Amino acid sequence: MKLVLVQILRAVAAWLVAMHHGQHEAATIAARTGQAFVPSAFLPWPAGVDVFFVISGFIIVYAAGPLYGRPGARARFLAHRIARVVPLYWLVTLLYLGLALALPGLLGTDGAALLEPGYVAASFLFWPALRPDGTPQPLYTLGWTLNCEMFFYVLFALGLGASRRGAVAWVLAALAALVLAHALVPGLPLPLAFWTNPIILEFALGAALGLARAEGLILPGPARLGLGLAGLALLAAAGRVLPPEQAFGADGGFLRPLVLGVPAALLVAAAALGRPRAEPEHPLLRWAGALGDASYALYLVHPFVLRAAREALLRSGVAPLLGPWGCLALMVGLSLPAAVIVYRLVERPLTARARALLEPAPATRPGRLRKTV
């Protein structure tokens, strides 16, 4: 039985991020065609990342039930996460690097400047490093979130020798201590400064929800509906509380987990604290669930689809006819089926192959994680 609403929320989170980047592309279209375009402030679109972080904390804690306190659990868990995250990320990073070298004008980058060996290696190994222009982002900029994810996975793996409660207690204490160090110790080296950013507290919010769900907390429908509506209302208000560059920037301090992380946790609680369901029968819900399965692919491939569609619309002369908002709808709309195709034809086979290569032999496996991980 899957947590269907969590899968659908994954799709929503990826769509939010695609909308955020799509509006940048629409603004470029407007500038080139001489049309007016004002990005929507209806929602804080970057909050899709915050929803992802809370979901990640929840799913990892909830779905790792067969591993707690078992021999070989750490190796099994890390092998599973590497197989899930690394293949597609490395593939899109290689694609980005190839495009940056072949068509630097298309990406707005100096491809040659990205080839510093230490920086390239750090980008592939999820190690925070400075880009040649001085910004703390990997080669494929979306990978900054995966640098956070992989760090969280390592922290969690360290606690797998204990019970679920012990592992969650370790993770919460470790994350709190790291954020405290970020606040109290100035001049931390870049990797430590990156990994101790208060945004990592969003994993703690998700981990606490995962423990509550695993301990049997089930909320009735009206209570979950109230949590979901409260989360949406707080997100809608977030952009009006603080300018985006303060709350949603690369280092928003404690503002981001407070202004975006807490509403994200309410949404995840609304989706996760109900009873597991079988696959939904309604076609729209099934499609949303399928898009949730492809949410990682959507997150990683949508910038390529957006940029390709932008250039096609501009060069074909269709962009002025559709207008920026029509172009935005088309660009993001094309990203959705593209992600499902990439998930089914590329990501899923690569993940299966990587898992077969990395996981311990069947006789020594401590148990299989649930499919929701």
Confidence check: pLDDT of 281 > 90: no
65 domain residue, yes or no: yes
The C-alpha angle 373, 270, 264, rounded to 5 degrees, equals: 75
112 domain residue, yes or no: yes
pLDDT tens for 199-219 read 999 999 999 999 999 999 999
373 domain residue, yes or no: no
What are residue 69's DSSP bridge partners? none
Which pLDDT score, from 0 to 100, does residue 371 have?
47
pLDDT tens for 30-41 read 999 999 999 988
370 domain residue, yes or no: no
371 domain residue, yes or no: no
Confidence check: pLDDT of 80 > 80: yes
Mean pLDDT of 116-131: 91
372 domain residue, yes or no: no
Mean pLDDT of the chain: 89
Confidence check: pLDDT of 112 > 70: no
Longest Cα separation, the chain: 65
What is the domain range of residue 242?
4-364
The domain tally of the chain equals: 1
Mean pLDDT of 167-177: 97
Mean pLDDT of 169-190: 94
Confidence check: pLDDT of 115 > 80: no
Which pLDDT score, from 0 to 100, does residue 88 have?
98
Confidence check: pLDDT of 364 > 80: no
pTM, entire model = 0.92
294 domain residue, yes or no: yes
Which pLDDT score, from 0 to 100, does residue 361 have?
60
Mean pLDDT of 340-368: 82
341 domain residue, yes or no: yes
Which pLDDT score, from 0 to 100, does residue 247 have?
44
| 30-64 exposure pattern, b = at least 16 Cβ within 10 A, e = fewer | beebeeebebeeebbbbbbbbbbbbbbbbbbbbbb
